[in-house]
Structure 1
Amino acid sequence: MRGEKTERPASRADIEVRFLRDWGFELPDSIFRFWEFLSSLAPAEHQALRDLDVSPAGIIDLFADTGLQPRQGIDVRVHGRYYRDPPEFLTFMHGGSDGLHHGLWFDDGRTCRGVASYYNNDGGGIDTTSGTPLEALRAILERCWRDLDDDVQDEEVSARRSRLSLLRDALTVVETGDRPEVGIAYSTAYDTITPAVDFARITTLDGAGALVAGETALDRPAHGQADEYKFATYMYALFQDPAALQACVEEARRRCSAGAPAEALVLGRDLHWASGGDPARETLANELLVMAYRALNRPSLAEMAGAHHRHRSLPRVDVLEKT
């Protein structure tokens, strides 16, 4: 062991049982590698994480203690859940300023597709570039390394570089060891890639796409094919027109009742992302999402959507406490 642990972690089996029971999701091997990596770090490497403004969060709290329970009256599934998080998003790490956070992405309602991230307090959509939690951490590390190139090279910067080097060395033993690039070279090669068009998913306002097949009312293109600015401009204008929006919702309901849930899913995701504190949009988003997920046989996502809707006004995202 390279560093001392402050707590004895729960067994993998206990963690898997808890998540399958309460969330209905199968956790990937990659999140256990992430937890084991964090648990092995020496003090200098932990300081490097603090230098990055990175910390484990959300579901990782249960890895240290699977017995944690939510405060009375609050659904455990909203722990670590930010206002705009789609039901598919399960937070495991805070990643820096402006509310950047990362989550496992479960868009089939059971298994993890990869890692998603976005800035909760800033603009921009959801990034699904990283495949694993450690890959996401490596990307953050190299962005910081790149930014240090622009700083005055003094003793403090040198010390930060030294700690980041130690963290990189430890990380690349576990993952991304086949990527020798650092700093801007790493970001250019792996972190700023334009995602390929994904024909299994349909364009959504949040930028992540929805895993669903079928026609939509706007004949939306596959994920990655849309002009994002034009699409967002159109959708936000639509949401400001109550009559037009109601007509769209009714069409989504009609299609879903007829066995075609694509429109309900994409419109529900759009309304969820753009709710902006509007109770009417929140209610419509929840209705459409629950309807679509049930039609697609994704009951865990339907339950997640309902739990989030009930608790979207919580003042903070941490809801677990020791019993």
Structure 2
Amino acid sequence: MGDDAGRRAALATMHERHDAVAERVQRVYGLRLPGHLAVFCAFWKSASDAERAAVEHLMVRPFGLTEYFADGGLERRARDGLDERLHARYRCDPPEFVTVLSGGSDGLHYGLWYDDPAEVPTLIVHNYARDSAETWANGYRTLLGELHGLTTAVLDERDDDTVAALVEPLLEALDWFVDADNEAVDADGPVRWSGVRRESTAVSVFPLLPSDAGDPQLGRSHTRLEELHAGGAEAAAWIARAEAELAAGEPALALAVGGELHWLAGDEHRDVARRLRADGYRLLGRDAIAGIVEVHAADAGLRDVDVLVATG
């Protein structure tokens, strides 16, 4: 493939598959599937040998929700009685993070970031699961945009004609799909949180919250993380304050403290991290995110996150 006819055919195929995949994601996760995933999967299906070689050099491949778009993808089921939402979910992933692409070394993976289950995701995020496992974003809304940014970064950072010759064919292919990518974003409609300033904790992008959700005190996150890690009176005081504000109807601090405890992965605070986040998200009406918190907490020690397997 790789020619215009092949790309158009792949785009038509993935658009045809989108509704069925969206139904699966809504039923399993309680989340809205963005249209731009179908566009990325069309790019992937139509890649020529040269484009595939470039992708292999970048060491990325579909993983997570994008696997539903593959031939027979919707026939895959979770192994060993596990919950399907655990597929491609690493130990420190925030619940808003739903994987769509694996990366290179150190467990790099990319995902959709869902601030609110009622909305389409607003951001592509990434996490090195086998390194320090923080979750950050490069500012792209679509997976195609993220891959374009990754490709141009490789070209900018490496003064190597051989690498350039290998990777440059990818840019032309990605550019071909830009209009379809933009159309998919437009078709998903306006995003409630568009234009709202986004902040982070010491370890992750932080979800956008209503103005009456309270103060997550993100400016104190680095110090708070150290205190939570050390335990003792300071940690207990943060947890008590988060619980008190949650009980008063302000979940922001509970989500921040709970997220930091989740990243620290300490057994002694696992239940607290689960409760602060699950209760906080439910208070906001984000029940699907709360469900992911609870499913993940129940299998936090899962060593192999390749959960979906072919049937038959």
TM over 0.5: yes
- Counterpart secondary structure, 1:117: strand
2:170 aligned with 1:167: yes
Distance 1:295 1:250 in 2: 18
Match of 1:97 among 105, 120, 123: 105
- The answer as to whether partners of 2:93 and 2:127 remain within 8 angstroms in 1 is no
Query: Runs of 5+ in structure 2 lacking a partner?
Result: 181-194
Q: Aligned pair in 2 of structure 1 residues 202, 291: CA closer, same or farther (>3 Å)?
A: farther
1:300 is displaced (CA, Å) by 0.3
In 2: Cα distance, 1:215 partner to 1:108 partner: 14
In 2, the alpha carbon distance for the partners of 1:146 and 1:201 equals 27
Instruction: Tell me what 2:89 maps to.
Output: 81
1:183-202 equivalences in 2 (<5 Å): 201=198
2:45 to 39, 42, 45: 39
Which of 56, 63, 68 lines up with 1:57 in the alignment?
63
For residue 136 of structure 2, give the secondary structure of its aligned residue in structure 1. Answer: coil
Partner AA of 1:166 in structure 2: P
The structure with the largest helix share of the pair is 2
CA distance in 1, matches of 2:124, 2:204: 14
Once the two structures are superposed, the pairs formed by residues 1-323 of structure 1 within 5 Å of their partners are 2=2, 11-64=17-70, 65-110=73-118, 111-123=120-132, 125-149=135-159, 151=160, 153=161, 157=162, 160-175=163-178, 201=198, 203-212=200-209, 213-214=211-212, 220=217, 226=219, 231-275=221-265, 278-323=266-311
State TM-score, norm by structure 1: 0.80
Counterpart-to-counterpart distance in 2, 1:101 and 1:176: 25
Mean Cα deviation higher: 33-42 or 265-274: 265-274
Tell me how far 1:44 sits from its aligned partner: 1.5
Bigger shift: residues 308-317 or 287-296: 308-317
Deviations 1:33-52 (A, max 9, x none): 11111111112211110011
Percent identity between the aligned chains? 30
Shift of 1:76: 0.2
Deviations 1:98-148 (A, max 9, x none): 222110010112321121112223345412511110111011111221233
Aligned residues: 284
**8 Å contact from structure 2 (residues 217, 253) kept in 1:** no
Q: Distance in 2 between matches of 1:128 and 1:143?
A: 11
In the TM superposition, what is the alpha-carbon distance from 1:201 to its structure 2 partner?
Answer: 4.9
RMSD (CA atoms): 2.5
1:216 positional shift: 5.2
Gaps of at least 5 residues in structure 1 are 178-197
Deviation at 1:254, TM superposition (A): 2.2
Amino acid at match of 1:307: V
Deviations 1:163-184 (A, max 9, x none): 322111010111299xxxxxxx
Distance 2:151 2:260 in 1: 31
* Conservation of the 8 A alpha-carbon contact between 2:125 and 2:135: no
Query: 1:256: Cα distance to partner?
Result: 1.4
Counterparts of 1:238 and 1:21, CA distance in 2: 36
Q: Separation in 2 of the partners of 1:214 and 1:258?
A: 11
Q: Within 2, Cα distance between the matches of 1:304 and 1:128? A: 24
Moved more, 138-147 or 207-216: 207-216
TM-score (norm 2): 0.83
Tell me the SS of whatever aligns to 1:235. Answer: helix
The amino acid that maps onto 2:306 is: D
> Could you tell me how far 1:72 is from its partner in structure 2?
2.4
* Partner Cα distance (2:89, 2:179) in 1: 28
